[in-house]
Structure 1
Amino acid sequence: MEKVSWKVEGMSCTNCALTVHKYLEEKGANNVKVNFIGGDVSFDLNGKSTKKDIATGIEGLGYHVVSDEKLAIPRKKRLFKNHFQRFVFCLIFTIPLFLNHILPFHIHFLMNPYVQLALTIPVYIVGMDFFGRSAIRSLWKGIPNMNVLIALGATAAFGYSLYGLIIGQSEKYMFFETAATILTLVFLGNWLEDKSVETTQAALRKLAVSQKIMANMIAYDDQHNEHIFPVESTSLKVGDLILVKTGEHVPMDCKILWGDASMNESIITGESAPVDKKMNDRLIGGSILESGTIKAYVTAVGEDTVMSNILKMVKEAQAEKPPVQQLADQISAVFVPSVLIISLITFTLNLSYGHHDFATSLMRAIAVLVIACPCAMGLATPAAIAVGLGRAAKNGVLFKNAKSLEIFKNIKQVVFDKTGTLTTGQFTITEYKLLSSDIDDNAFKRIAYSLERYSNHPVGKAIAKEWKVKDEISWASIEEVKGLGMKATDKEGNNYVAGSFKVAENYLNDHQRSVYIIKNNELIGWIDVADELRPEAKQVVSALHARNITTILLSGDKKEKCDAVAKQLGIDEVIAEQTPAQKLEKVAAFNAEAPTAMVGDGINDAPALAKATVGISLSDATQVAMQSAQVVLMNHGLKNLPLSLGLGKHTYVTIKQNLFWAFAYNIVAIPVAALGFLSPTFGALVMGMSDVVLAVNSVRLNWKKV
């Protein structure tokens, strides 16, 4: 399986996405995700078809693959590049027709049917080149799109007028201006829709720092003299040396070799406060060096950088279809055929039972075609999701899928791990004691360091950092046991364990200590460490309580320590001294009671994070925890947890508002057009505006207080 991610231009609605989705599945692609907002398409290629064949097929559908230069699919040259150019061209010919139609007096030469035909033909040709081609392709693929309605409506008005001209009764059949105005106004509506939808991507575009920024590359000649010269960041490779000066962007992910710096990482974390960096610290590509000068070597380029992975994650989440969208997609798939039937019924009833003439009945049927808007239903959910995910990403909250964003609306309780989540995880050793006369102070520290240097737990990392030695023990085998600690065997066959009270309960009754060290089934000593609460923890817990969300502390740590933390923060319930398996059981039980979010950062939290309704991890968590969670908080803390909950709730509210408008608009507009209260011209204008209303409502999420 090869993972393929493309940018595809030309998709303008859900039906376009469904057409591409259906085509890719026909070609045997798996795990297909298509997002018409942004044009992101991803799928797994199984070898049955080549990328070139699939890209050529997508071109045949009327869309264009732009993000894979290796394919070299030539783009068909078009006279007009976008809807705005088409609109301006058509407007030039439509204005005389339209003015002559609405002015209280008529311009004599414009009443000539041949003049009207001459003015309409260029508009009709441009309109059919876009709407007609798109309509035929969509019908061929079995998923008729909105352009079928537009093409059919304009062709009916144009054909009816042309028929009148041919039989010499133009004055009774003169609807050339209707055909031209429909096409012109729909081009205007499509352009406004494109601009509005583009606005929904604004927050995400701010994250996408230009890939072609200049970098200062360091090189050395034969005499080891240093030379610095500018290169494009895209030409950098892993291991290249670079110089970054005050005010410059960090071109790619890198590690500091020399110098100190104050970094602005707000593009990733949402935090505007600068972060101090020193030698061996890692820098994120796209961050800005506010003060200082550093030399660094590149650690990741292209798709491997933190920024690329964030953008990829957000785009994949946008392509996901949350449950609320499924109904809208199902309706969109049958909407166009339904409107065609309603239009036919409108024509028949007006002609047969409404006692209207053929021309009036036809105009009402055309009005039904052009005012109906399947795009509104298809756009309602993706537009809100795009803005919600974009604002979240800009503020350092990453949703791995759109489903999590929607599910947040139901969260009734939040479960917190303690160490590294509510606390900083920055431990310091406060006390230790030797319990074996055979081990001296240095040997004890050497054993503790040699074991804990392999630990992913914050306590273990702290011990390894403080007690670092050069002559560490060389292990024959070592492993980290979830919820217990480290187990190892040296090359002489001696067994060692460093862990919680669970590993030492057979040796003593003192369960107040942080880490117990055992050698060959003999307790040789214990170590105490201290941690401090995250400064934002109390504020976050209070914010959750203000939303009537129950807070629970679920930890593997001792009950006394957990109770002390809960009391300081005002947490509702404490469950302490739990193994990963017990945490999993507790979270499952909480889920059964009410939708539950779990916040954790350690390897022992991973099963519970995966089990929770929504798993939330911190950016400085273990990789296992981050992979198990559906949401990652990128600001090294809990600060944005209320924002993530609020965005989830308000994004869902926006989706409901959008869907209400989309359904209400079509339910009201179609009968109004069928009864003759709207002309096709006005219907085309209103249809174009309907999508703009949805996009504007969605964009409000960027500023809405959540």
Structure 2
Amino acid sequence: MSEDNTYRLQGLSCTNCAAKFEKNIQQISTVEDVELNFGASKLKIKGLVTVEQLEEAGAFDGIKVYQESEQPTEDSTPFWKKNANFPTLLSLFFIIVGYTFLFQIGEDHMLTIGSFAVAIIIGGAVLFKEGFKNLLHLDFDMKTLMTIAIIGAVLIGEWAEGAVVVFLFALSEVLESYSMDKARRSITSLINITPKEALIKRNNEYVNVLVKDINIGDIMLVKPGNKIAMDGQVINGGSSINQSSITGESIPVFKTKGDEVYAGTLNEEGSLEVLVTKRAEDTTIAKIIHLVEEAQAEKAPSQKLVDRFAKYYTPAIMLVSLLVAIVPPLLFGATWSTWIYQGLAVLVVGCPCALVISTPVAIVTAIGNAARNGVLIKGGIHLEQTGRLQVVAFDKTGTLTKGTPEVTTVMPFSEHTEEKILTYAAAIEEFSQHPLATAITNAFKKKSGEKITADNFNSITGKGATASIGKINYKIGSPSLFEDHPTFSDDLVKKIAQLQAGGNTVVLLANDEEILGLFGIADTVRKGTHTIIEQLHRIGIKQSVMLTGDNQLTGEAIGKSIGISDIKTNLMPEDKLDAIRAIQQSYGNVAMIGDGVNDAPALATATVGVAMGSAGTDAALETADIALMGDDLEKLPYTIDLSRKALKVIKQNIGLAFGLKLAALLLTIPGLLTLWIAIIADMGATLIVVLNSLRLMRSRFL
């Protein structure tokens, strides 16, 4: 019976090495299927295999293999101090010695040649071992091409250049490995933020238990200053929790009994008892890690294009190299050694490494940066599409607004006070479950007034309620409930209309003799929403749209107050879907921002579906293309800006990879291309591409 196992990798330095590692594993007889995620350094295998077998398959690149449950220790040793890099430094030493002899006693002296030969052997031992093995199997990867080039240089007497090429190639491998490890730290930093064990109540006392042995229903104690190890619900205590690792929020959130807490977040001040609600592999942070890794494995459209091109690029370069080496001597009587040398240089400069790595390193870095800032982008394709957005459409309730109505206006009439009408209204509404009733009772609680009791409560469906306070009967509800009241006047109608024009729902309070006052209640706009809309337009979003089921008066009042340019009201879910399709026909790429559960058709139809406040919400994490983990729209401009920067970086990388190689190849026309120019062009292109991509790690939205 076959087994499915997942492993984490260390030392996976380049895409060519990843492809070869995968191929070596496939040759193990007990392995049925292999899936290697280069961006996340992760390996999935179907079949029976040992870690030792896997490490043997990756020995050519020094790849270390760990079980998925293990947390690989991060090597903090500076890369120039690592033992694996010692041969590179020693090779440089013998090159310096060789050039010293070259200038003192000439290039043909045995000491000069011997020094360069030692530099080639020491610096290129690993390269040659793999290169020769590949030659026997007719496997023409980068190391094979380099081996042929260096051997050719030695055969035509270019000992110095052969040694320099070996050193520069080894140095580029070291730097590329270092850079890719740095790009991947966004994942390892997520993996390592959760504690390995927690204090769990067993037999009425707290003991340390490994997270993998903690069960749903266990009671966990979280002391001040400790990280929370498991997702759960607070059952005792209260404390401020720093949730930045999950939601990207910089301000701690106070949690008390009944509130959810997440693994990997930091308990700052109080002690908490938490009921564990999820196993370690199902926690929110575990899902985020899984989804980010899957996102980095998914190839973006530009990467697929580059991969298809690279498939034909390497054979083409080998053919060009052969033609450069033999055509001038055969057809034009040129010197064989000169043009064989030029052909070898073409072989070196044509290595496709920079081109192949140009897109994935940018995708890995951008998605990792977003994850650290509380934004989950679920694939390279979504990153690219977000970078091309023209229009952003918002669901109103719970997205642009807080989603819970609040009292915005208290207007007493005659001799009555705000405190009195709020106290009387709250006494009646205490018996109702309606959201508007809850808004009034919440407003009263904030005022901390003296509570009174109402009797004989009676609900009037769809309109309001009645009750008695003392011996007087009171009525509260919508204006339509009071149209036959003796004090319902034209002046009152104007006041109601003004409040409704501002997006408020109006509630009146009256007794049999007079209307005591009114309340304006609205779903209030999120703080800073107007600024967010301005930022979106500033970074190039052509149109902002609000899609809401509210009436036109309410919808336009809210939309205009925050700077939305297009407001569509009275929409059912199917109408929102039609609206998204119409926008796509007019503008092209459109994002729909909602809660990830409601308005599902519109979210699915939009070019990019963005879910709000997704921390702990399984449905939102699974359905959205992008999830804003905190209940915070401020991350939206950052996400679009990051995606646009990533698109620019990808285009720059592809242009740089092609440009440097083309410039070097053009030097073959006058016969000026040398091996050291070729290797610098190849190494330079790779390093520039990687370093350019790493700029995305520090990308911040201003």
Q: Taking structure 2 as the reference length, what is the TM-score of the superposition?
A: 0.75
Aligned pairs for 1:547-558 within 5 A:
547-558=540-551
Matched, 1:52 2:49: yes
Deviation at 1:241, TM superposition (A): 2.9
Aligned pairs for 1:364-383 within 5 A:
364-383=342-361
Corresponding residue number in structure 1 for 2:182 = 199
1:262 is paired with a residue whose SS is strand
Deviation at 1:186, TM superposition (A): 0.7
Corresponding residue number in structure 2 for 1:179 = 162
The letter of the residue matching 2:662 is I
Deviation at 1:608, TM superposition (A): 0.7
Matched, 1:147 2:139: no
2:359 is paired with a residue whose SS is helix
2:609 is paired with a residue whose SS is strand
Q: Is the 8 A contact 1:213 1:251 kept in 2?
A: yes
Task: Pick which of 189-198 and 175-184 moved more.
Answer: 175-184
The CA distance in 2 between the partners of 1:24 and 1:607, in whole Å, is 42
Matched, 1:254 2:232: yes
Residues 21 and 609 (structure 1), Cα distance of their counterparts in 2 relative to 1, 3 Å cut = farther
Corresponding residue number in structure 1 for 2:245 = 267
The CA distance in 2 between the partners of 1:70 and 1:391, in whole Å, is 24
Corresponding residue number in structure 1 for 2:76 = none
Corresponding residue number in structure 1 for 2:603 = 609
Match of 2:564 among 571, 576, 587: 571
Identity %: 29
Q: Is the 8 A contact 2:546 2:566 kept in 1?
A: yes
Matched, 1:386 2:364: yes
Aligned pairs for 1:522-601 within 5 A:
530-546=522-538, 547-594=540-587, 595-601=589-595
Deviation at 1:587, TM superposition (A): 1.2
Deviation at 1:378, TM superposition (A): 1.0
The CA distance in 1 between the partners of 2:440 and 2:147, in whole Å, is 72
Q: Is the 8 A contact 1:343 1:369 kept in 2?
A: yes
Residues 2 and 271 (structure 1), Cα distance of their counterparts in 2 relative to 1, 3 Å cut = farther
Aligned pairs for 1:694-705 within 5 A:
694-704=689-699
The letter of the residue matching 2:65 is V
Deviation at 1:609, TM superposition (A): 0.3
Deviation at 1:93, TM superposition (A): 4.6
Aligned pairs for 1:356-371 within 5 A:
356-371=334-349
Corresponding residue number in structure 1 for 2:263 = 285
Deviation at 1:632, TM superposition (A): 0.7
Q: Is the 8 A contact 2:145 2:351 kept in 1?
A: no
Matched, 1:658 2:653: yes
Match of 2:321 among 326, 333, 343: 343
The CA distance in 2 between the partners of 1:30 and 1:540, in whole Å, is 50
Residues 552 and 611 (structure 1), Cα distance of their counterparts in 2 relative to 1, 3 Å cut = same
Deviation at 1:212, TM superposition (A): 5.0
The CA distance in 2 between the partners of 1:360 and 1:411, in whole Å, is 53
Q: Is the 8 A contact 2:40 2:296 kept in 1?
A: no
Task: Report the count of equivalent residues.
Answer: 599
Q: Deviations over 1:292-334 (max 9, x none)?
A: 2212233334331211211221121111111112221122222
Aligned pairs for 1:266-665 within 5 A:
266-352=244-330, 355-427=333-405, 530-546=522-538, 547-594=540-587, 595-601=589-595, 603-620=597-614, 623-665=618-660
Corresponding residue number in structure 1 for 2:128 = 128
| Structure 2: 5+ residue stretches without partners | 71-80, 410-425, 444-499, 506-518
The letter of the residue matching 1:544 is L
The CA distance in 2 between the partners of 1:130 and 1:2, in whole Å, is 31
1:598 is paired with a residue whose SS is strand
Task: Pick which of 617-626 and 594-603 moved more.
Answer: 617-626
Q: Deviations over 1:600-631 (max 9, x none)?
A: 11633111101101111112486444433201
The CA distance in 1 between the partners of 2:555 and 2:100, in whole Å, is 77
Task: Pick which of 354-363 and 559-568 moved more.
Answer: 354-363
The letter of the residue matching 2:281 is E
Residues 197 and 593 (structure 1), Cα distance of their counterparts in 2 relative to 1, 3 Å cut = same
Q: Is the 8 A contact 1:193 1:688 kept in 2?
A: no
Residues 84 and 270 (structure 1), Cα distance of their counterparts in 2 relative to 1, 3 Å cut = same
| Structure 1: 5+ residue stretches without partners | 72-79, 161-172, 432-440, 453-457, 467-510, 515-526
Residues 125 and 6 (structure 1), Cα distance of their counterparts in 2 relative to 1, 3 Å cut = same
The CA distance in 1 between the partners of 2:38 and 2:164, in whole Å, is 27
Corresponding residue number in structure 1 for 2:89 = 88
The CA distance in 2 between the partners of 1:583 and 1:59, in whole Å, is 56
The CA distance in 1 between the partners of 2:436 and 2:315, in whole Å, is 64
Q: Deviations over 1:80-108 (max 9, x none)?
A: 9985244235445544334434x354499
Matched, 1:668 2:663: yes
- Pair member with larger Rg: 2
The CA distance in 1 between the partners of 2:555 and 2:68, in whole Å, is 55
Residues 397 and 70 (structure 1), Cα distance of their counterparts in 2 relative to 1, 3 Å cut = closer
Corresponding residue number in structure 1 for 2:98 = 97
The CA distance in 2 between the partners of 1:624 and 1:31, in whole Å, is 30
The letter of the residue matching 2:530 is K
Q: Is the 8 A contact 1:211 1:233 kept in 2?
A: no
Q: Is the 8 A contact 1:6 1:65 kept in 2?
A: no
Corresponding residue number in structure 1 for 2:489 = none
Task: Pick which of 663-672 and 296-305 moved more.
Answer: 296-305
Corresponding residue number in structure 1 for 2:416 = none
Residues 212 and 261 (structure 1), Cα distance of their counterparts in 2 relative to 1, 3 Å cut = closer
Deviation at 1:210, TM superposition (A): 4.6
Q: Is the 8 A contact 2:532 2:633 kept in 1?
A: yes
